[in-house]
Amino acid sequence: MSNQEIEANMRKSVEAAQRTFNTIRTGRANPSLLDRLTVEYYGAETPLKSLATISTPDSQTIAIQPFDLGSIGLIEKAISTSDLGFTPNNDGKIIRINVPPLTEERRKEFCKLASKYAEEGKVSLRNIRRDAIEKVKKLEKEGEISEDQSRDEQEIIQKLTDKFITEIEKHLAEKETDILKV
């Protein structure tokens, strides 16, 4: 595995962690809060964003306009039964979700959740590092690279890992600031 491949895999892990951060509520309405939401549509779990246009007309409201008005009840049910804690309002054409301001307790819960997601991202990075270092050690053992080359490669892999872990921590700090901002 080349260093470019390792770096690309680590970058994907950081982006995945960032996407999960975006699903955590802050005090403002944001369409990405509904990214994980799926709706049972004609017997198949379908992502909400492929069934409707999601927008934020103001900082406290998310508007969902289904492409097929027949799915409005299914979308409303999916939102109500999700773990997001939203109550949808349906006017027959558009579903509106009022995003209430967060309580201090909920803010702390969301910070813990963000930390958990960050830790999952770091574990993913460490797994990539472990696999890459194992490959380097195997090459050294087989005599394809010298001990010095092996040590240099392992050092490069560790530096990449440190760089991406720092990146995840930076994203976590930004998200926590966002969550705690009233």
- 175, pLDDT greater than 80: yes
Domains and CATH numbers, the chain: 3-21+103-180 (1.10.132.20), 28-98 (3.30.1360.40)
pTM above 0.75, yes or no: no
Q: Helix/strand/coil (H, E, C) string of the chain?
A: CCHHHHHHHHHHHHHHHHHHHHCCCCCCCCHHHHCCCEEEECCEEEEHHHCEEEEEEECCEEEEEECCHHHHHHHHHHHHHCCCCCCEEECCCCEEEECCCCCHHHHHHHHHHHHHHHHHHHHHHHHHHHHHHHHHHHHHHCCCCCHHHHHHHHHHHHHHHHHHHHHHHHHHHHHHHHHHCC
Per residue in 14-71, pLDDT (tens digit) is: 999 998 888 887 777 888 888 888 888 888 998 988 999 999 888 888 999 999 888 8
Per residue in 101-121, pLDDT (tens digit) is: 878 888 888 899 999 999 999
